[in-house]
Amino acid sequence: MPETYDIGLGNNNSHLRQEADSDFVSFWDSQARNLSWFSLWTKTLDWNPPFARWFVGGTLNASYNALDIHQASKSAKTAILWEGEDGQSRNITYGELFIQVQKFANVLKSLGVQRGDRVTIYLPMVPELPIAMLACARIGATHTVIFSGFSAASIRDRVSDSQSKVIVTADGGYRRGQIINLKSMVDDAIKSLDFVNHVIVLERAKNKISMTPKDKLWGQLMADVSDLCNAEELPSDHPLYILYTSGTTGKPKGVLHGTGGYLTHLYSTFKWAFDIKDSDIFFCTADIGWVTGHSYVVYAPLLCGATQVMYEGAPDFPDVSRMWQILQKYQVTIFYTTPTAIRLFMKFGAEIPNSFDLSYLRLLGTVGEPINPEVWRWYFKIIGKERCPIIDTWWQTETGGMLISPLPGLETVSLKPGSAGHPIPGINIGIVDENGNDVPANTKGYLVVKNPWPGMLLSLWDDDEKYKTTYWSKYDGCYYSGDYAMRDDDGYLWLLGRADDVLNVAGHRIGTAELESCIVSHPSVVESAACGIPDDVKGETIIIFAVLRQGILGGTKLEQELTDKIRTDIGAIATPKHIYFVPKLPKTRSGKIMRRLLKAIGTNEEIGDTSTLEDGSAVTQVQHAFDEVHRRTK
Ligand code: WTA
């Protein structure tokens, strides 16, 4: 008998599955009616492959759906219970959030921001971050949030690509007790970007910053504006945001999301996956700089009028009990986090969570990486006391919201540790081989999506061609996810990691091409290859092999210099564990680097078949360089 856990929360709406199976378009049509529209659509789906436009002719506003609709009944209800890393806390009601968003929308307008303009937001996890996003949405500006761990060079690339004329940042943000000077990072980033007219600076850390003529203080701007600003009536496909994500090329892609389809997807999945009730206290640990934060910290909980905890800092600061303290303090009922975080908690043992009162929990979620069955069981037993279903949600920046997940808000769930379960209603998932044919059960293949769905990206910002080639050219008419998966005999889906050259480090996507182009732009390096090796906590960690210019000798000093370069050019999240200097890289006869071999060396595994190698000695040399480093560091 397979190990399964059946949990019912009293919901019996699986008839929605039949409705979705018989006609996914009219199914999503009825779901979209849960939102507030200024005018209804004339066509539910315009599918001009690979471009999908949902609810054509309908008009709405994301900020209106997140705030205005709750004012009559919930203005005194808490929207955000904010916990600062330094122990400060704030309780923000739907009424207060509504006022702040309207005021900031007026600030943006006063600085000349108009419908269709882009605004870059580079803020720590403070309530002003969702306020700024919702203010953009309110006036029809497209926000582009950059994770506060990215470096000045990464900000510059993203601001230039999106041509944002206004940037919102802070004097600093707290991370592991340190103040990160976000403002100076923005100063460096925009030095040569003349089109940036204004930088709005939130005073969060009150540390010393230098002000330039472009800079304006958040507090001062907010003091001078009215707290009334009507939400713009926007077409359903109006671009709500751009979020940059790593792919297989050196340049991050600007994933572009619309409004009506995206919000419909979030509203429905939030209810189905988390069974959200008015009394729940929801806590998603994702940073808003990533898609999970956009979808399930900012938009979904607010659309549903939920109360949520928002935490500013690191999960293990000042120690690994911090999360449990927060759960206990706010009596959290739904907790949504990552396998990386769970593995970290697990490493420190059950005694720590066991010493807190976590009895309010009723659902546990996970996202971002495959969760190993052993970690799943620990989460289920130790944190959820075998009462709470584990909601393992598979999705991507591009999909906007969950596509595969158990849905206890809809039906009784039957869970298998390590499997994300089944597709959500209205989503047609396929697992196919190299030629696009469905693979049999229990066979690994590529995960594709065979129908358009409402949360689907509109395109890549300013690059329809790249959108087509990246996602829609591998298999005709199917969305290519870049992930491996398998379906078992019972129809459960098992996610098996990335199939492309994208690494998943602690749930963050980092392209090998991005790392490699950073390293080779150093004058000492001619060629490089990055790969991921398994890590107990982070899932995967980065190692890099670099070939140096003739006459240059590698050593710890150069390794440090290259590591620093990665931190400066990309950000601390991309810090490699090791850089190995090698005379040449193993390549196929057609010149493709054989990453598989590098990975095998990095993990001390069998090298396997090397018959396609152009020069067999490359492997020996890489192995030698690897052994040499580890002999030295032992
Ligand atoms: C991985 C995060 C296994 C996957 C929402 C995907 C997962 C990438 C899961 C997207 C899961 C996400 N199980 N793998 N439940 N959720 N992934 O764009 O490889 O930051 O392609 O979106 O994370 O990462 P992204």
Contact 116, 140 (CB under 8 A): yes
Helix axes of 15-22 and 24-32: crossing angle, nearest 10 degrees: 120
Task: Measure 344 CA to ligand 1 centroid, in angstroms.
Answer: 18
Between 576 and 608, the more confident residue is: 576
Does the structure show a pLDDT above 70 at 6? yes
Paired tokens of 162:
């999106």
Distance between CA atoms of 191 and 378, rounded to whole angstroms? 49
Helix (H, G, I), strand (E, B) or coil at 608: coil
Mean pLDDT of all residues in 342-355 = 95
Task: Measure 376 CA to ligand 1 centroid, in angstroms.
Answer: 16
Between 303 and 207, the more confident residue is: 303
Q: Whose CA is nearest to atom 22 of ligand 1?
A: 396
Maximum alpha-carbon separation in the chain: 73
Cα within 13 Å of Cα(419), Cβ side: 22
User: What band does 246 get if pLDDT is binned at 50, 70 and 90?
Assistant: confident
SS3 labels along 241-254: EEEEECCCCCCCEE
Burial of 547 (0-12, 13-18, 19+ CB in 10 A): middle
Mean pLDDT of all residues in 45-54 = 98
Q: Whose CA is nearest to atom 8 of ligand 1?
A: 396
Ligand 1, residues 245, 291, 396: which to mutate, most atoms within 8 A of Cβ?
Answer: 396
Ligand 1, residues 256, 479, 509: which to mutate, most atoms within 8 A of Cβ?
Answer: 509
Contact 524, 549 (CB under 8 A): yes
Does the structure show a pLDDT above 70 at 517? yes
Q: Which atom of ligand 1 lies closest to the CA of 397?
A: 18
Ligand 1, residues 150, 256, 446, 504: which to mutate, most atoms within 8 A of Cβ?
Answer: 504
End-to-end CA distance of the chain: 45
For all residues of the chain together, what is the average pLDDT?
A: 95
Paired tokens of 309:
């905890």
User: What band does 32 get if pLDDT is binned at 50, 70 and 90?
Assistant: very high
Paired tokens of 152:
């000045």
Q: Which atom of ligand 1 lies closest to the CA of 508?
A: 20
pLDDT value at position 187? 97
Does the structure show a pLDDT above 80 at 590? no
| Among candidate residues 491, 458, 489, the one with its CA nearest the CA of residue 47 | 458
Q: Whose CA is nearest to atom 6 of ligand 1?
A: 396
Count of all residues that appear for the chain in the document? 634
Contact 264, 28 (CB under 8 A): yes
Q: Residues 459-468: pLDDT tens digits? A: 999 999 999 9
3-state helix, strand, coil in the chain (%, to 5): 30, 25, 40
Contact 446, 480 (CB under 8 A): yes
| Burial state string for 263-299 with b = 16 or more CB within 10 A and e = fewer than 16 | bbbbbbbbbbbbbbeeebbbbbbbbbbbbbbbbbbbb
Does the structure show a pLDDT above 90 at 501? no
Paired tokens of 528:
């490089």
Ligand 1, residues 483, 500, 502: which to mutate, most atoms within 8 A of Cβ?
Answer: 483
pLDDT value at position 1? 67
Contact 377, 417 (CB under 8 A): yes
Q: Whose CA is nearest to atom 24 of ligand 1?
A: 396
Q: Residue holding tokens 């500013």? A: 312
pLDDT value at position 634? 60
Distance between CA atoms of 614 and 474, rounded to whole angstroms? 27
pLDDT value at position 49? 97
**Which of 120-124, 268-272, 522-526, 584-588 shows the lowest per-residue confidence on average (mean pLDDT)?**
584-588
Q: Residues 591-611: pLDDT tens digits? A: 778 888 898 999 988 887 777
Helix (H, G, I), strand (E, B) or coil at 17: helix
Task: Measure 396 CA to ligand 1 centroid, in angstroms.
Answer: 5
Task: Measure 430 CA to ligand 1 centroid, in angstroms.
Answer: 17
Q: Residues 116-143: pLDDT tens digits? A: 999 999 999 999 999 999 999 999 999 9
Mean pLDDT of all residues in 298-309 = 98
Distance between CA atoms of 565 and 522, rounded to whole angstroms? 8
pLDDT value at position 612? 76
pLDDT value at position 214? 97
pLDDT value at position 271? 98
| Cis upstream peptide for 124 (omega within 30°) | no
Query: The domain 501-632 is classified under which CATH number: 3.10.580.10, 3.10.20.30, 3.30.300.30, 3.40.50.261?
Result: 3.30.300.30
Task: Measure 559 CA to ligand 1 centroid, in angstroms.
Answer: 30
Task: Measure 86 CA to ligand 1 centroid, in angstroms.
Answer: 30
Contact 351, 544 (CB under 8 A): no
Does the structure show a pLDDT above 80 at 417? yes
The alpha-helical segments, DSSP class H, found in 88-166 are: 94-110, 128-139, 152-162
Does the structure show a pLDDT above 80 at 163? yes
Ligand 1, residues 369, 431, 457, 471: which to mutate, most atoms within 8 A of Cβ?
Answer: 369
Task: Measure 367 CA to ligand 1 centroid, in angstroms.
Answer: 7
Contacts 24+ apart (CB under 8 A), 326-330: 326/83, 326/283, 327/283, 327/356, 327/358, 327/360, 327/361, 328/356, 328/357, 328/358, 329/83, 330/81, 330/83, 330/281, 330/283
Q: Kindly give, in sequence order, each residue whose CB lies less than 8 Å from that of residue 159, ignoring residues fewer than 6 positions away.
A: 120, 167, 189, 190, 193, 196
| Pocket lining for ligand 1, CB < 6 angstroms | 245, 290-292, 367-370, 392-397, 420, 481-483, 495, 498, 504, 509
Q: Whose CA is nearest to atom 13 of ligand 1?
A: 370
Q: Kindly give, in sequence order, each residue whose CB lies less than 8 Å from that of residue 346, ignoring residues fewer than 6 positions away.
A: 375, 378, 382
Task: Measure 405 CA to ligand 1 centroid, in angstroms.
Answer: 12
Task: Measure 352 CA to ligand 1 centroid, in angstroms.
Answer: 28
SS3 labels along 197-252: CEEEEECCCCCCCCCCCCEEEHHHHHHCCCCCCCCCCEECCCCCEEEEECCCCCCC
Task: Measure 391 CA to ligand 1 centroid, in angstroms.
Answer: 14
Task: Measure 518 CA to ligand 1 centroid, in angstroms.
Answer: 24
Task: Measure 402 CA to ligand 1 centroid, in angstroms.
Answer: 10
Does the structure show a pLDDT above 70 at 633? no
Task: Measure 292 CA to ligand 1 centroid, in angstroms.
Answer: 10
Does the structure show a pLDDT above 80 at 536? yes
| Burial state string for 119-130 with b = 16 or more CB within 10 A and e = fewer than 16 | bbbbbbbbbbbb
pLDDT value at position 593? 84
pLDDT value at position 611? 76
Distance between CA atoms of 464 and 346, rounded to whole angstroms? 43
Ligand 1, residues 394, 460, 508: which to mutate, most atoms within 8 A of Cβ?
Answer: 394
Task: Measure 214 CA to ligand 1 centroid, in angstroms.
Answer: 38
Q: Which atom of ligand 1 lies closest to the CA of 393?
A: 15
Q: Which atom of ligand 1 lies closest to the CA of 371?
A: 13
Contact 354, 327 (CB under 8 A): no
Compute CA distances 192 → 161, 195, 372, 380, 592, whole Å.
Answer: 14, 9, 46, 51, 36
